Amino acid sequence: MVNFSLEGKVALVTGASYGIGFAIASGLAEAGAKIVFNDINQELVDKGVAAYKEAGIDANGYVCDVTNEDQVNALVAQIEKEVGSVDILVNNAGIIKRIPMHEMSAADFRQVIDIDLNGPFIVSKAVLPGMMKKGHGKIINICSMMSELGRETVSGYAAAKGGLKMLTKNIASEYGEYNIQCNGLGPGYITTPQTAPLREVQPDGSKHPFDSFIIAKTPAARWGNPEDLVGPAVFLASEASNFVNGHILYVDGGILAYIGKQPK
Protein backbone atom coordinates (compact mmCIF):
# COMPACT_ATOMS: atom_id res chain seq x y z
CA MET A 1 0.00 0.00 0.00
CA VAL A 2 1.48 3.34 -1.05
CA ASN A 3 1.60 5.68 1.93
CA PHE A 4 0.55 9.25 1.17
CA SER A 5 -0.42 9.93 4.80
CA LEU A 6 1.32 12.75 6.64
CA GLU A 7 -0.21 11.92 10.03
CA GLY A 8 2.06 12.95 12.89
CA LYS A 9 4.34 15.03 10.67
CA VAL A 10 5.24 18.67 11.28
CA ALA A 11 5.37 20.73 8.07
CA LEU A 12 6.96 24.18 7.87
CA VAL A 13 5.82 26.14 4.82
CA THR A 14 7.56 29.49 4.44
CA GLY A 15 5.64 32.56 3.28
CA ALA A 16 2.37 30.64 3.41
CA SER A 17 -0.15 33.29 4.53
CA TYR A 18 -1.84 33.20 1.11
CA GLY A 19 -1.48 32.07 -2.51
CA ILE A 20 0.48 29.00 -3.55
CA GLY A 21 2.02 28.51 -0.10
CA PHE A 22 -1.41 28.57 1.55
CA ALA A 23 -2.82 26.06 -0.96
CA ILE A 24 0.11 23.67 -0.48
CA ALA A 25 0.00 23.95 3.32
CA SER A 26 -3.75 23.33 3.30
CA GLY A 27 -3.21 20.19 1.20
CA LEU A 28 -0.51 18.94 3.56
CA ALA A 29 -2.90 19.54 6.48
CA GLU A 30 -5.64 17.56 4.73
CA ALA A 31 -3.15 14.68 4.45
CA GLY A 32 -2.61 14.85 8.21
CA ALA A 33 0.34 17.18 8.76
CA LYS A 34 0.55 19.77 11.52
CA ILE A 35 1.12 23.11 9.77
CA VAL A 36 3.51 25.84 10.84
CA PHE A 37 4.24 28.83 8.64
CA ASN A 38 6.02 32.15 8.72
CA ASP A 39 5.70 35.49 7.02
CA ILE A 40 7.57 38.76 7.00
CA ASN A 41 5.27 40.72 9.36
CA GLN A 42 2.58 40.22 12.00
CA GLU A 43 -0.23 41.52 9.79
CA LEU A 44 0.39 38.81 7.19
CA VAL A 45 0.77 36.14 9.87
CA ASP A 46 -2.54 37.18 11.46
CA LYS A 47 -4.30 37.10 8.07
CA GLY A 48 -2.81 33.66 7.43
CA VAL A 49 -3.89 32.25 10.79
CA ALA A 50 -7.42 33.56 10.19
CA ALA A 51 -7.52 32.03 6.69
CA TYR A 52 -6.37 28.64 7.99
CA LYS A 53 -8.92 28.80 10.82
CA GLU A 54 -11.68 29.55 8.31
CA ALA A 55 -10.54 26.46 6.38
CA GLY A 56 -10.71 24.37 9.55
CA ILE A 57 -6.94 24.13 9.95
CA ASP A 58 -5.17 24.76 13.26
CA ALA A 59 -1.95 26.36 11.97
CA ASN A 60 0.83 28.00 13.97
CA GLY A 61 2.10 31.25 12.44
CA TYR A 62 5.34 33.08 13.21
CA VAL A 63 6.98 36.32 12.09
CA CYS A 64 10.35 35.56 10.53
CA ASP A 65 12.53 36.94 7.72
CA VAL A 66 13.92 33.92 5.84
CA THR A 67 17.03 35.92 4.87
CA ASN A 68 17.97 36.50 8.52
CA GLU A 69 19.89 33.46 9.78
CA ASP A 70 19.49 34.36 13.47
CA GLN A 71 15.72 34.78 13.09
CA VAL A 72 15.44 31.48 11.19
CA ASN A 73 17.46 29.56 13.79
CA ALA A 74 15.26 31.04 16.54
CA LEU A 75 12.13 30.13 14.56
CA VAL A 76 13.16 26.49 14.11
CA ALA A 77 14.04 26.23 17.81
CA GLN A 78 10.66 27.72 18.77
CA ILE A 79 8.81 25.32 16.45
CA GLU A 80 10.66 22.36 17.96
CA LYS A 81 9.69 23.53 21.44
CA GLU A 82 6.06 24.42 20.74
CA VAL A 83 5.01 22.01 17.99
CA GLY A 84 7.75 19.46 17.31
CA SER A 85 10.77 18.84 15.13
CA VAL A 86 10.24 19.74 11.47
CA ASP A 87 9.68 16.68 9.26
CA ILE A 88 8.71 18.54 6.08
CA LEU A 89 10.04 21.88 4.85
CA VAL A 90 8.49 23.69 1.90
CA ASN A 91 10.66 26.64 0.83
CA ASN A 92 7.90 28.74 -0.69
CA ALA A 93 8.72 32.35 0.31
CA GLY A 94 9.84 34.37 -2.69
CA ILE A 95 9.52 37.57 -4.68
CA ILE A 96 9.79 38.63 -8.31
CA LYS A 97 10.79 42.01 -9.72
CA ARG A 98 9.82 42.51 -13.36
CA ILE A 99 12.43 45.02 -14.54
CA PRO A 100 14.44 44.98 -17.80
CA MET A 101 17.94 43.82 -16.89
CA HIS A 102 19.66 46.95 -18.24
CA GLU A 103 17.44 49.04 -15.94
CA MET A 104 17.63 46.79 -12.86
CA SER A 105 19.80 47.97 -9.98
CA ALA A 106 22.29 45.61 -8.39
CA ALA A 107 20.42 46.16 -5.11
CA ASP A 108 17.16 44.89 -6.63
CA PHE A 109 18.95 41.91 -8.17
CA ARG A 110 20.56 41.07 -4.81
CA GLN A 111 17.21 41.31 -3.00
CA VAL A 112 15.62 38.74 -5.33
CA ILE A 113 18.62 36.41 -4.97
CA ASP A 114 18.60 36.90 -1.20
CA ILE A 115 14.95 35.95 -0.71
CA ASP A 116 14.56 33.35 -3.47
CA LEU A 117 17.89 31.54 -3.12
CA ASN A 118 19.68 32.46 0.10
CA GLY A 119 16.40 32.08 2.01
CA PRO A 120 15.93 28.40 1.08
CA PHE A 121 19.60 27.76 1.88
CA ILE A 122 19.25 29.35 5.34
CA VAL A 123 15.98 27.59 6.26
CA SER A 124 17.13 24.21 4.90
CA LYS A 125 20.37 24.53 6.83
CA ALA A 126 18.39 25.18 10.02
CA VAL A 127 16.15 22.10 9.75
CA LEU A 128 18.74 19.63 8.41
CA PRO A 129 20.35 18.76 11.79
CA GLY A 130 16.96 17.72 13.23
CA MET A 131 16.18 15.65 10.13
CA MET A 132 19.61 14.00 10.26
CA LYS A 133 19.07 13.14 13.93
CA LYS A 134 15.69 11.53 13.22
CA GLY A 135 16.91 9.76 10.09
CA HIS A 136 14.25 11.14 7.78
CA GLY A 137 13.07 14.40 6.25
CA LYS A 138 11.50 16.02 3.20
CA ILE A 139 12.55 19.34 1.71
CA ILE A 140 10.50 20.76 -1.15
CA ASN A 141 11.82 23.85 -2.91
CA ILE A 142 9.34 25.89 -4.92
CA CYS A 143 11.26 26.32 -8.14
CA SER A 144 9.74 27.64 -11.36
CA MET A 145 9.72 27.17 -15.09
CA MET A 146 12.28 29.98 -14.86
CA SER A 147 14.60 27.29 -13.47
CA GLU A 148 14.73 26.16 -17.12
CA LEU A 149 13.62 29.07 -19.28
CA GLY A 150 14.47 32.72 -19.69
CA ARG A 151 12.03 35.55 -20.29
CA GLU A 152 12.06 39.31 -20.56
CA THR A 153 12.35 41.36 -17.32
CA VAL A 154 13.00 38.46 -14.89
CA SER A 155 16.80 38.15 -14.85
CA GLY A 156 17.04 38.13 -11.04
CA TYR A 157 14.17 35.67 -10.62
CA ALA A 158 15.46 33.30 -13.31
CA ALA A 159 18.98 33.41 -11.85
CA ALA A 160 17.63 32.67 -8.37
CA LYS A 161 15.34 29.85 -9.48
CA GLY A 162 18.08 28.29 -11.61
CA GLY A 163 20.30 28.40 -8.55
CA LEU A 164 17.52 26.89 -6.42
CA LYS A 165 17.24 23.99 -8.86
CA MET A 166 20.92 23.23 -8.37
CA LEU A 167 20.72 23.75 -4.59
CA THR A 168 17.92 21.15 -4.63
CA LYS A 169 20.14 18.65 -6.44
CA ASN A 170 23.04 19.35 -4.09
CA ILE A 171 20.99 18.89 -0.91
CA ALA A 172 19.78 15.58 -2.35
CA SER A 173 23.36 14.58 -3.10
CA GLU A 174 24.75 15.60 0.28
CA TYR A 175 21.99 14.34 2.61
CA GLY A 176 20.39 11.41 0.78
CA GLU A 177 22.34 8.99 2.99
CA TYR A 178 20.39 10.32 6.00
CA ASN A 179 17.09 9.34 4.32
CA ILE A 180 16.41 12.99 3.54
CA GLN A 181 14.81 13.68 0.18
CA CYS A 182 15.06 17.14 -1.39
CA ASN A 183 13.00 17.81 -4.50
CA GLY A 184 11.68 20.84 -6.34
CA LEU A 185 8.14 21.71 -7.32
CA GLY A 186 7.97 23.92 -10.41
CA PRO A 187 4.62 25.67 -10.89
CA GLY A 188 3.58 26.86 -14.30
CA TYR A 189 1.38 29.92 -14.67
CA ILE A 190 -1.04 29.81 -11.74
CA THR A 191 -4.18 31.84 -11.03
CA THR A 192 -3.21 33.88 -7.98
CA PRO A 193 -3.98 37.47 -6.93
CA GLN A 194 -0.53 38.45 -8.27
CA THR A 195 -1.35 37.17 -11.77
CA ALA A 196 -4.95 38.47 -11.83
CA PRO A 197 -4.04 41.67 -13.76
CA LEU A 198 -2.58 39.46 -16.52
CA ARG A 199 -5.95 37.78 -16.97
CA GLU A 200 -8.24 40.82 -16.93
CA VAL A 201 -10.65 41.17 -19.82
CA GLN A 202 -9.74 44.19 -21.93
CA PRO A 203 -12.11 47.18 -22.44
CA ASP A 204 -13.07 45.85 -25.89
CA GLY A 205 -14.01 42.46 -24.37
CA SER A 206 -10.91 40.63 -25.61
CA LYS A 207 -8.50 38.59 -23.51
CA HIS A 208 -5.39 40.21 -22.08
CA PRO A 209 -2.55 39.55 -24.59
CA PHE A 210 -0.52 37.70 -21.93
CA ASP A 211 -3.53 35.55 -21.04
CA SER A 212 -3.91 34.55 -24.70
CA PHE A 213 -0.16 33.92 -24.94
CA ILE A 214 -0.08 31.57 -21.94
CA ILE A 215 -3.14 29.61 -23.02
CA ALA A 216 -1.66 29.18 -26.51
CA LYS A 217 1.63 27.97 -24.99
CA THR A 218 -0.02 25.48 -22.63
CA PRO A 219 -1.18 22.09 -23.98
CA ALA A 220 -3.79 22.02 -21.18
CA ALA A 221 -5.12 25.29 -22.71
CA ARG A 222 -5.67 26.89 -19.32
CA TRP A 223 -3.91 28.48 -16.39
CA GLY A 224 -3.19 26.27 -13.41
CA ASN A 225 -4.99 26.63 -10.10
CA PRO A 226 -3.17 26.58 -6.73
CA GLU A 227 -5.00 23.31 -6.02
CA ASP A 228 -3.20 21.70 -8.99
CA LEU A 229 -0.03 21.82 -6.87
CA VAL A 230 -1.50 20.02 -3.86
CA GLY A 231 -1.28 16.42 -5.11
CA PRO A 232 2.34 16.75 -6.28
CA ALA A 233 3.28 18.46 -2.99
CA VAL A 234 1.68 15.71 -0.88
CA PHE A 235 3.50 13.10 -2.98
CA LEU A 236 6.88 14.78 -2.45
CA ALA A 237 6.18 15.21 1.28
CA SER A 238 5.07 11.62 1.87
CA GLU A 239 6.69 8.19 2.09
CA ALA A 240 5.43 7.56 -1.45
CA SER A 241 8.45 9.55 -2.71
CA ASN A 242 11.13 7.96 -0.49
CA PHE A 243 13.27 7.01 -3.52
CA VAL A 244 12.69 10.26 -5.41
CA ASN A 245 15.55 12.66 -4.74
CA GLY A 246 17.00 15.67 -6.55
CA HIS A 247 14.09 15.84 -8.97
CA ILE A 248 12.21 18.94 -10.15
CA LEU A 249 8.53 18.14 -10.71
CA TYR A 250 7.08 20.74 -13.06
CA VAL A 251 3.35 21.31 -12.73
CA ASP A 252 2.89 23.46 -15.80
CA GLY A 253 0.15 21.92 -17.94
CA GLY A 254 2.83 20.76 -20.39
CA ILE A 255 4.45 24.11 -21.27
CA LEU A 256 8.02 22.85 -20.96
CA ALA A 257 7.24 19.92 -23.27
CA TYR A 258 5.69 22.05 -25.98
CA ILE A 259 7.36 24.01 -28.78
CA GLY A 260 4.17 25.99 -29.46
CA LYS A 261 1.67 26.29 -32.29
CA GLN A 262 2.73 27.04 -35.83
CA PRO A 263 1.70 30.56 -36.85
CA LYS A 264 -1.21 30.64 -39.27
Give the residue numbers marked as catalytic: 157
Quick one: how far is CA 98 from the chain centroid?
19
Cβ contacts of residue 219 below 8 Å, gap of 6+? 253, 254, 255, 257, 258
Q: Distance between CA 154 and CA 41 in Å, rounded? A: 26
Q: How far apart are CA 158 and CA 146, in angstroms?
A: 5
Number of H helices, E strands in the chain: 8, 7
Please name which of 247, 25, 4, 258 lies closest in space to residue 147, comparing C-alpha atoms: 247
Question: What is the C-alpha to C-alpha distance for residues 90 and 85, in angstroms, rounded to an integer?
Answer: 14
Alpha helices in the chain (DSSP H): 19-30, 42-54, 69-82, 106-113, 119-134, 155-175, 209-217, 230-237
DSSP state of 146: G
